[in-house]
Structures are given as C-alpha cells and as structure tokens.
Structure 1
Amino acid sequence: MQSEFGSILKEWRKVRRFSQLDLSLEAEMSARHLSFLESGRSNPSREMVLRLSDALQLPRPAANQALNAAGFAPVYPSLPDDAPELAPVNQAIDMMLSHHDPFPGIAVDRHWNVVKSNNGAQMLLALASPDGTANMMDILINSAGLDLIENWDEAAMLSLTRLRTEILELGGDEKLAALMQRLANHERVKQIDMSAINLNQAVIPTILRIGEKRLSLFSTIAQFGSVQDTRAGETKIELMFPMDEETVQFFAR
C-alpha cells in the first residue's frame, strides 16, 4: 500500500516531469530504491527526504510536508511576521524600499498581496486602487476599463506568463490559480490580438497615464536567497525604475 510520503513523492515527480530513472540519477540513488519509496515498500531516512526535496526543488512548505509524512520534524520554520528572528529581514526590506524612493517600490507575498510599500508606490496605489485593494493582480484586473495603464494588454499577458511560471514552480497553488483564471477570463484579455503585441523588446515597461503625464517604468524583482522561513523566504521586492526623464522628474517633484 502506497504511503503518504510515497504519494507526495510520486505527485511531485510528475509535476517536475521526471521519470523514476531521471529522479534517481538527480538524487544519486538507485531507481529500484526510489520505486520502493514510492510504493511504500521502503521508508526513507531524513537525509533521503531532504535529498529528494532538493532534487525535486520543492518549495519549503512542500519539503516540510514531505518530512512530516515520513515521520520527521520540519526543518524550515514558519514564524510570525513580528518574530525577533525576522527583524533583520524586515529591516532589509524597509531599507531597500526607503532607499528606492522617490521611485515606487513594494514588497508582496506569495499571492501578490502588498505587505509594504514606499512613498512613491503609495502614491501610485492610491491612484490605481482608490478602494484600497492591495493585491497587484487584482489592481491590474480592476484597471482594465480605465485609462491608467496605456499598455494594459502587454501588462496582462506578461502577468499571465509570470503567474503560470510561479504556479508551476510551486507545484500548484489554488489562490494563484484563481487569480490567473480571473485574469485569463477577462473579456479584454480574450480580445487581445497577440500579433499586435511586440514582445521582441529589450525592456517592456508599464506605461501609466496620470493626468497629462505619461510615465514609463520597468521593474526588477528580488527575493531572499538565504532566508529559510517559509513565508519570509517567499517575499518578493519589486522596485520600479524610470525609463525616461519625464518619469524621473515626475517622481522627483
């Protein structure tokens, strides 16, 4: 009878599109042993669970789930946001955002909810989301009928690609999938003519219309490489940079 760990292992192997042979080579083990682990005929050691988690590139919460299913304690912590251990992480986020002012900068969680923002971003969020919505994908969807984002079609298609990639890396996520479905099912998205979208550009900015001003911004997204906490490690910091002098001067004022 297949064990809970065996079911998790098999499911993730299929998500990563590995054959048993592929995974056994990646994890430096025999295909026979891997087959026994999946079927429940053998039980893994803690070291083996971690080795397979690494080979499958499991997200930290999934690695903890695999360890628990095999009868071991989780290795990755899940601390409250105000835990003293996370103070350096929160300080780093604050430093990145404040140093990036007056240009917009935000920190978002796994589901694109804004958890922190600097002054430049707060101004844009107030314009883009007067109802206080603080989810970047919801803001994009809600702005479809407005004149705020001049190249909304490009922004929507790039966001769909990003969401698909993130869902694949996570092995599935119901909330992200729901956001992606909402965006994909939007009437404006269904009417997009892909031949009219030029993806062959060195930089594809987001172009905003604010009154008489035309602002052009491109983004860089950073994540922590050594933070082991399951939630803090998934925090993304998006910093937006001006593409032209008019945008520089707008935020400088």
Structure 2
Amino acid sequence: MISEFGSILKDWRKVRRFSQLDLSLEAEMSTRHLSFLESGRANPSREMVMRLSDALQLPRPATNQALNAAGFAPVYPSLPDNAPELAPVHQAIDTMLDHHDPYPGVAVDRHWNVVKSNQGAQMLLALASPDGTANMMDILMNSAGLDLIENWDEVAVLSLTRLRTEILELGGDEKLSALMQRLASHERVKSIDMSTINLNQAVIPTILKFGETRLSLFSTIAQFGSVQDTRAGETKIEMMFPMDQETVQFFER
C-alpha cells in the first residue's frame, strides 16, 4: 500500500518531470530503493527525506510536509510575523525599501499582496489603485481598461509567465493558480496578438501614464537566501528603477 510519503514523493517527481532513474541519480541512490519508497515497501530515514527534498528542490513547506508524512518533525519554522526571531528580517526589508526611496519599492508575499512599501511606491499605489487594492496582480487587471499602463499587453504577458514559473516551482498553489487563471481569462489578455509583443528587448519596462506625465520603470526582485522561516523566506522585495531622465526627475521632485 502506498504510504503518504510515497504519494508525496511520486507527485513531486512528476511535477519536476523526473523519471525514477533521473531522481535516483540526482539523489545518489538506487532506483530500486526509490521505487520501494514510492510504493511504501520501504520507509525513509530523516537524512533520506532531506536528500530527496534537495534533489527535487522542494519549497520549505513541502519539505516539512514530507518530513511529517515520514514520521519526523518539521525542520523549517513557521513563525508569526511578530516573532522576535524575525525582527532582523523586517528590519532588513525596511532598510532596503527606505534606501531605495525616492524610487518605488514594495515587499510582497507569495501571492503578490503588498505587505510593505516605501514612499515612492505608496505614491504610485495611491494613483494606480484608488480603491486601496494592495495586490500587484489585481492592480494590473483593474487597470486593463484604463490608460494607466501604456504597454499593458507586454506587462500582462510577462506577469503570466512569472505566475506560471512560480506555480511550477511551488508544485502548485491554489491562490496563485486562481490569480493566473483570472489574468489568463481576462478579455484583454485573450485578445492579445502575440506577434505584436516584442520580448526580444534587453529590458522591458512598465510604462505608466498620469496625465501628461510618462514614467518608465524596470524592476529587480530580491528574496532572502538564508531565511529558513517558511513564510518570511517567501517574501519578495521588488525595487523599481527609472529607465529615463524624465522618470528620474519625477521621483526626485
């Protein structure tokens, strides 16, 4: 009878598109032993769970789930936001965002909800989302019928690609999948002529228009490499940089 761990292992192997041979080579184990683990004929050691998790590049929550299914305690913490241990992380986020002013910077969670923002971003969010929506993908969809984003089609295509990549890396996520489906099924997205989308550019900015003002911004996204907490470790910091002098002068003013 297939065990809970065996089911998790098999599901993730399929998500990563590994054959049993591929995974056994990556994890430096025999294909026979891997087959026994998937079928429930053998039970893994804690070290083996961690080795397979590393080979499959499992997200931290999934590694905890696999450990629990195999009868071991989770290795990665899941602390509340106000836990003292996470204070240095919050301080680091604040420092990055503050130092990036006057240019916009936001910290978002796994589902692209804005959890922190600097003054430059707060100004943009107030203009782009008067109703107070604080989800970056919702803001994109809500702006589809406006003249706010000049190259909306390009930004939407890039956002869809980003969402698909994140869902694949996570092995699935209901909320992200729902966001992706809403964006993919949006009437404007369905009408995009892909032959008009030029992805062969060194940098693809987001071009915003507010009246006579035209802003051109590109982004870099940072994540913590050493934060082991399951939620804090998923926080992304998106910092936006100006593409031209007009945008520089706008934010400096």
Normalising by structure 1, we get a TM-score of 0.99
Is residue 82 from structure 1 mapped to residue 51 from structure 2 by the alignment? no
Name the CA distance, whole Å, in 1 between partners of 2:19 and 2:192: 37
Cα displacement (A) at 1:173: 0.5
Which residue identity does 2:121 align to in structure 1?
A
Cα displacement (A) at 1:211: 1.5
Residues 180-235 of structure 1, C-alpha deviations (whole Å, 9 max, x = no match):
00000011001111111111100000000012111000000000000000000000
Which residue identity does 1:144 align to in structure 2?
A
- Partner SS for 1:188: helix
Name the CA distance, whole Å, in 2 between partners of 1:54 and 1:252: 45
Cα displacement (A) at 1:39: 0.4
Residues 76-112 of structure 1, C-alpha deviations (whole Å, 9 max, x = no match):
0000111110111100000000000000000000000
Residues 43-69 of structure 1, C-alpha deviations (whole Å, 9 max, x = no match):
000000000000000000000000000
Which residue identity does 1:43 align to in structure 2?
N
- Partner SS for 1:116: strand
The residue number in structure 2 matching 1:94 is 94
Residues 19-55 of structure 1, C-alpha deviations (whole Å, 9 max, x = no match):
1111001000000000000000000000000000000
- Any stretches of 5+ residues in structure 2 without a counterpart? none
The residue number in structure 1 matching 2:244 is 244
Name the CA distance, whole Å, in 1 between partners of 2:88 and 2:122: 23
- Partner SS for 1:87: helix
Name the CA distance, whole Å, in 1 between partners of 2:148 and 2:188: 15
Name the CA distance, whole Å, in 2 between partners of 1:133 and 1:214: 22
The residue number in structure 1 matching 2:166 is 166
Normalising by structure 2, we get a TM-score of 0.99
The residue number in structure 2 matching 1:117 is 117
Which residue identity does 1:142 align to in structure 2?
N
- Partner SS for 2:208: strand
The residue number in structure 1 matching 2:220 is 220
Which residue identity does 1:79 align to in structure 2?
L
Name the CA distance, whole Å, in 1 between partners of 2:208 and 2:128: 10
Which residue identity does 2:100 align to in structure 1?
H
| Runs (4+) off by over 2 Å | none
The residue number in structure 1 matching 2:207 is 207
Residues 166-188 of structure 1, C-alpha deviations (whole Å, 9 max, x = no match):
00000001100000000000110
Question: How much is the aligned-residue C-alpha RMSD, in angstroms?
Answer: 0.4
Which residue identity does 2:41 align to in structure 1?
R
Name the CA distance, whole Å, in 2 between partners of 1:21 and 1:199: 36
Cα displacement (A) at 1:247: 0.3
The residue number in structure 2 matching 1:59 is 59
Residues 5-32 of structure 1, C-alpha deviations (whole Å, 9 max, x = no match):
0000000000000011110010000000
- Partner SS for 1:167: helix
Cα displacement (A) at 1:73: 0.3
Name the CA distance, whole Å, in 2 between partners of 1:211 and 1:105: 22
Which residue identity does 2:116 align to in structure 1?
K
What is the total number of aligned residue pairs between the two structures? Answer: 253
Name the CA distance, whole Å, in 1 between partners of 2:59 and 2:240: 27
The residue number in structure 1 matching 2:185 is 185
- Structure 1 residues 19-168: aligned runs within 5 Å: 19-168=19-168
Name the CA distance, whole Å, in 1 between partners of 2:226 and 2:171: 21
Name the CA distance, whole Å, in 1 between partners of 2:210 and 2:245: 16
